[in-house]
């Protein structure tokens, strides 16, 4: 419940530095968060977003700097208790959220609960049985620049969140904590691998993939050297060059499979089974993990294949993973054009 992710990286410092001033302010929308949490509520801020809200200190300090005002909030419940929350925002110039938006988000809550649920503790470095190679598209990324002895020189805005995930630190709402200049162990390992390749055994940039509760992190280190510089030359004189480490957060394979199946028209029951099929699990294992009869898995699988016009799990996996890569490639070509 304390973990958070935001596509807008600017929200992180604003919330950390300003949000807690209004925890006990009855005029702030944040004041109704606790009862909504207990009730696994949804849309509890819609009626509080009128003119009086625009004149509140909460709006001026927290929302106005981000050019957002209209908000739609939802708690995500599992077994009668809140396990996560979702906050959608729109700029004041856009239309406000309506009851129709609330109903659409409400229909998504069971899917979100399935995506957020995890069996382990809140350890951000949890291992996942899903094959990392099937990770979804990139949702967040950044780069850091360091010396060969792992001294941080520069990092792109928003990278702090990814570094916290790598270090296994909590990334939720909390009071401001200064940015640490100590790199997480995976980034240090890549830098040492690159700097230690002076013997010329490999010119391939070291890469790493890590499955976390937030998605799949990919890391790649390479020499930040003038054009034409050979990697072997940079490694022999590491003090003369810097190292760039690119870090990307990819959509978790389970979340991506659930989204792809849902968009293809699969029912909730078919989606639960389809996720496991797309990850290559046998039907007997799926039945055991979902706690249902093997015959139910067989029947659901048959209906799923008919709905998606596929004939086996291999075709299903191709539809989910290959189509995703093709869509990303087409999007990249459109942007390049």
**Euclidean distance between CA atoms 262 and 50, whole angstroms:** 35
Mean pLDDT of 23-42: 81
Angle, in degrees to the nearest 10, between helices 268-278 and 99-116: 40
**Euclidean distance between CA atoms 263 and 271, whole angstroms:** 10
pLDDT for res 143: 93
**Euclidean distance between CA atoms 314 and 320, whole angstroms:** 10
Mean pLDDT of 238-259: 85
Cβ–Cβ < 8 Å for 70, 92? yes
**Euclidean distance between CA atoms 171 and 96, whole angstroms:** 29
How far apart, in Å, do the first and last CA atoms of the chain sit?
Answer: 42
| Higher-scoring residue by pLDDT: 129, 99 | 99
Q: Is the pTM of this model over 0.75?
A: no
Written out in words, the top-level CATH class of the domain with range 254-336 is mainly alpha
List the structure tokens of 332: 């990249």
Measured CA to CA in angstroms, residue 295 lies from 119, 277, 288, 301, 325 at distances of 26, 15, 12, 10, 33
Confidence of residue 6 (pLDDT cuts 50, 70, 90): low
- Asked if the model's pLDDT at residue 59 lies above 80, the reply is yes
Query: For residue 113, which of 139, 82, 89 has the smallest C-alpha distance?
Result: 82
Cβ–Cβ < 8 Å for 289, 276? yes
The C-alpha angle with vertex 21 and arms to 167 and 63, in degrees rounded to 5, equals 85
Measured CA to CA in angstroms, residue 299 lies from 97, 227, 251, 304 at distances of 40, 59, 29, 9
Mean pLDDT of 265-284: 90
**Euclidean distance between CA atoms 17 and 170, whole angstroms:** 16
Domain boundaries, the chain: 11-116, 132-250, 254-336
168: left (phi over 0), alpha (psi -120 to 50) or beta: left
Write out the H or E segment, with its range, that includes residue 82: strand 81-90
pLDDT for res 55: 84
Which residues sit opposite 146 in a β-bridge? 152, 243
> CATH for 132-250, among 3.40.47.10, 3.30.450.20, 3.40.640.10, 3.30.70.60?
3.30.450.20
pLDDT in tens, 170-193: 665 444 444 455 788 888 888 888
**Euclidean distance between CA atoms 209 and 277, whole angstroms:** 23
């Amino acid at each position: 419940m304390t973990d958070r992710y935001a596509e807008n990286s600017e929200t992180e410092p604003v919330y950390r530095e300003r949000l807690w001033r209004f925890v006990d302010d009855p005029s702030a929308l944040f004041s109704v968060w606790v009862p909504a949490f207990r009730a696994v509520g949804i849309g509890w801020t819609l009626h509080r977003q009128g003119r009086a809200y625009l004149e509140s200190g909460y709006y001026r300090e927290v929302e106005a700097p981000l050019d957002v005002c209209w908000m739609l909030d939802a708690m995500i419940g599992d077994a009668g208790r809140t396990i996560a929350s979702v906050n959608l925002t729109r700029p004041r110039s856009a239309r406000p959220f309506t009851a129709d938006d609330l109903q659409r988000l409400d229909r998504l809550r069971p899917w979100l609960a399935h995506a957020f649920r995890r069996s382990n503790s809140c350890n951000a470095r949890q291992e996942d049985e899903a094959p990392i190679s099937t990770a979804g598209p990139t949702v967040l990324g950044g780069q850091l620049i360091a010396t060969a002895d792992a001294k941080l020189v520069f990092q792109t805005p928003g990278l702090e969140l990814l570094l916290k995930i790598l270090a296994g630190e909590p990334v939720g709402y909390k009071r401001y904590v200064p940015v640490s200049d100590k790199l997480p162990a995976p980034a240090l390992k890549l830098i040492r691998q690159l700097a230690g390749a002076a013997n010329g055994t490999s010119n391939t940039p070291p890469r790493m993939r890590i499955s976390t509760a937030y998605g799949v992190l990919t890391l790649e280190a390479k020499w930040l050297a003038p054009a034409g510089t050979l990697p072997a030359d940079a490694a022999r004189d590491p003090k003369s060059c810097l190292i760039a480490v690119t870090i990307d957060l990819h959509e978790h394979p389970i979340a991506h499979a659930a989204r792809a199946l849902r968009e293809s028209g699969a029912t909730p029951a078919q989606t639960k089974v389809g996720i496991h099929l797309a990850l290559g699990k046998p039907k007997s294992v799926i039945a055991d993990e979902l706690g249902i009869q093997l015959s139910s898995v067989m029947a659901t699988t048959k209906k799923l294949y008919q709905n998606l016009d596929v004939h086996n799990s291999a075709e299903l996996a191709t539809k989910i993973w290959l189509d995703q890569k093709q869509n990303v490639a087409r999007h990249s070509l459109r942007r390049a054009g």
